[in-house]
Amino acid sequence: MDNQYDVITGDELKEIQEAIKKSPAEGVALINAYFDKQKNTPLNIAITGESGSGKSSFINAFRGIEDGDERAAPTGVVETTKEVKGYPHPSHPNVTLWDLPGVGTTNFPAAKYLELVGFEKFDFFIIISASRFKENDVKLALEINRMGKKFYFLRSQIDIDLSKARRSQKSNFNRKKTLEVIREDCIKGLRDQGFEAPQVFLVSNIKSDLFDFHLLQETLERELPRHKSNAFLYAMPNISMEIIKKKKDAYQAQIKYYVLLSSAVAAVPIPGLSTAVDLTLVACLVTKYVFGFRLDVNSLKRLAASSGVPYSDLVSVITSQLGATKITPDLIKKLLTPLATVAVLIAAEDVSRVFLFIGIPIAMCLSGYTTYKILNYLLDLIAADAQKVFEKAVKKNTEV
């Protein structure tokens, strides 16, 4: 898989070293620039389907924004999308969900739909339907496939369907069986129209933590380039413990690259420089983790609004001091004070510089190992807080 956005190259490491020799501040600025490049990997997701299928509601749910919010995609019982419009994710603006007009509307006939909406700029398409997928949905999927891009069928409003089935079937209601019937009905309809093995994801815009949202993420993880699937994963709402774990695993997989960066900085023979730059490096990464796990102030406030759990209650379960606050090198240093091992490693790194020839290689190893220990420690704290916030938020939500 293409992981070009997951690494800092050898040439970039050398460039950072040279910048640090000139000025520590210049080196730190360059490191931040590389972080910005990585976190700004663009991901453009097209959301389409027939009029009234729930496209706008899906966009709002994915972004953690309520339908009435001024930044929300407009929703309604009739087609409200008259033009192609992008909605950046509030915490990950590199991820944009594009609300496309319904297939087959007057201004966007099916025959010219992809041309009119600007097919090339989208990484993949999500085709949404509130019932069986219709002829226009199938034509669109076949054309997207012919042009070499991915598409995914989402059957929306599953929570409404289950509520209707419960009322009509009463004591005979079986939730699992009802979901199977809905899924099979969608799959049969697509097979009848030419798809051999269609995959349909059942979702609810109201209860995104239920049903198949996590299966969609897993599918994208397999089928998209690594940097694109990671961008999607980081932007996803924390709808399950599994999603939180996947985010942690993805961040953990990247730590080795920052260990290399830390070691490269330690090769510059300036006393105290490595520790100062490492703290800045860690602060930048921890900020990235906080936003990825939705523990920043704005994300927590949006979660409070959507879950009905007061913001203060969500913040009260965060024990790491890393959520809902500005991450600085001084804060990182304060949080690491109780870790005796880290203090010993930092001291050993400084002492090793006294010895010529072998001192710098030792300092590089110690700096890298210290950074590894620190990042894993703080990532564990943040992921644990994300789990606690998730558990607090979902307590009020009852399963359909």
Other CB atoms within 10 A of residue 124 CB: 18
Report how far residue 179's alpha carbon sits from residue 161's, in angstroms, rounded to the nearest whole number. Answer: 9
Tell me how far CA of residue 225 lies from CA of 41, 125, 222, 251, in angstroms. 11, 15, 8, 16
Residue 255 phi, psi dihedral angles, 5° rounding: -60, -35
**Where exactly are the structural domains of the chain?**
10-39+239-394, 43-235
Looking at residue 210, its pLDDT comes to 78
| Mean confidence (pLDDT) of the chain | 81
Residue 86 phi, psi dihedral angles, 5° rounding: -95, 140
Looking at residue 309, its pLDDT comes to 92
pLDDT in tens, 50-88: 777 888 889 988 888 887 788 888 876 555 557 889 999
Looking at residue 339, its pLDDT comes to 67
Looking at residue 398, its pLDDT comes to 46
State mean pLDDT over 266-292. Answer: 73
pLDDT of 350 above 70: no
pLDDT in tens, 195-253: 877 889 999 877 777 788 888 888 988 888 877 888 899 898 898 898 999 999 989 98
The answer to which of 16-20, 175-179, 216-220, 379-383 has the lowest mean pLDDT is: 16-20
pLDDT of 21 above 80: no
* Homologous superfamily of the 43-235 domain (CATH): P-loop containing nucleotide triphosphate hydrolases (3.40.50.300)
The confidence band for 95, taking pLDDT boundaries of 50, 70 and 90, is very high
**Which of 120-129, 185-194, 202-211, 341-350 is the most confident on average?**
120-129
Looking at residue 5, its pLDDT comes to 39
The confidence band for 4, taking pLDDT boundaries of 50, 70 and 90, is very low
This model's pTM is above 0.95: no
Q: What percent of the chain has pLDDT over 70?
A: 79
The answer to which of 3-7, 270-274, 376-380 has the lowest mean pLDDT is: 3-7
Burial (CB count <10 Å: 0-12, 13-18, 19+), residue 310: exposed
Looking at residue 358, its pLDDT comes to 46
Looking at residue 122, its pLDDT comes to 95
